[in-house]
Amino acid sequence: MRNLLIVISGPSGVGKGTIVERLLSRGNYSLSVSCTTRAPREGETEGKSYFFISKKKFLEMIDEGGFLEFSNHFESYYGTPKAFVEKQLEERDVILEIDVDGGLQVKRSHPEALLIMILPPDRETLRSRLAGRGTEKPETIEKRLARADYEIEKSRLYDYTVINGELNAAVTEIENIIKREKE
């Protein structure tokens, strides 16, 4: 059976982090750790949540071709380190939790990648989940909602969309998609 490059995207606040955690605890996947130039949030760990690097270092890595994909939004850069992903893919399926621009870049360089978009049941659910996090300022929430509209619009270019209404149901749906794709 071939190993799959699985891209999981979705608006922030949709619960993709929790979905990915569940997938990792239930199956044998490797999770790619991205590089970012944004500051760590409370509770985030270097090398686990992200590799937090300077903009200078990020730009150097772009020049060296060190990213499988990268994008720039919310005034920060985010990118997937290429070497790590390619090495891990030799062993098992790899999950990338990245934004829609990155996902579509991956599809161009790796057409066999599986692109899954997680969507909220509706926009109000997303707004209340973002507000409930308590980590973002109101302006940031508005920016993230505007970005969500963009991601939702682009979801038609993804292979699958999964609605995160009930967590376990969403995780099982994704596992079934992966199982089918591997057959």
The smaller minimum CB distance to ligand 5GP, of residues 93 and 97, is found at: 97
Rounded distance, CA 24 to CA 66, Å?
Answer: 25
143 contacts: CB under 8 Å, gap ≥ 6: 74
Work out how close the CB of 78 gets to ligand 5GP at its nearest, in angstroms, rounded to a whole number: 4
Pairing state between β 160-163 and 114-119: parallel
Work out how close the CB of 13 gets to ligand 5GP at its nearest, in angstroms, rounded to a whole number: 9
Q: Which residue is closest to ligand 5GP by CB?
A: 102
The smaller minimum CB distance to ligand 5GP, of residues 93 and 99, is found at: 99
Q: Which chain residues interact with ligand 5GP by CB under 6 A?
A: 12, 34, 38, 69-71, 78-80, 97-99, 101-102
Give the largest Cα separation in the chain, rounded: 47
The smaller minimum CB distance to ligand 5GP, of residues 78 and 158, is found at: 78
The smaller minimum CB distance to ligand 5GP, of residues 135 and 179, is found at: 135
What single DSSP character describes residue 156? Answer: G
- Of 154, 156, 152, 153, the closest CA to residue 164 belongs to 152
Work out how close the CB of 126 gets to ligand 5GP at its nearest, in angstroms, rounded to a whole number: 13
- Of 122, 121, 116, 118, the closest CA to residue 157 belongs to 116
Rounded distance, CA 120 to CA 12, Å?
Answer: 10
Place of tokens 């209340």: 128
Work out how close the CB of 105 gets to ligand 5GP at its nearest, in angstroms, rounded to a whole number: 7
Rounded distance, CA 84 to CA 67, Å?
Answer: 10
Rounded distance, CA 103 to CA 116, Å?
Answer: 9
The smaller minimum CB distance to ligand 5GP, of residues 1 and 137, is found at: 137
Work out how close the CB of 1 gets to ligand 5GP at its nearest, in angstroms, rounded to a whole number: 26
The smaller minimum CB distance to ligand 5GP, of residues 34 and 155, is found at: 34
Work out how close the CB of 74 gets to ligand 5GP at its nearest, in angstroms, rounded to a whole number: 6
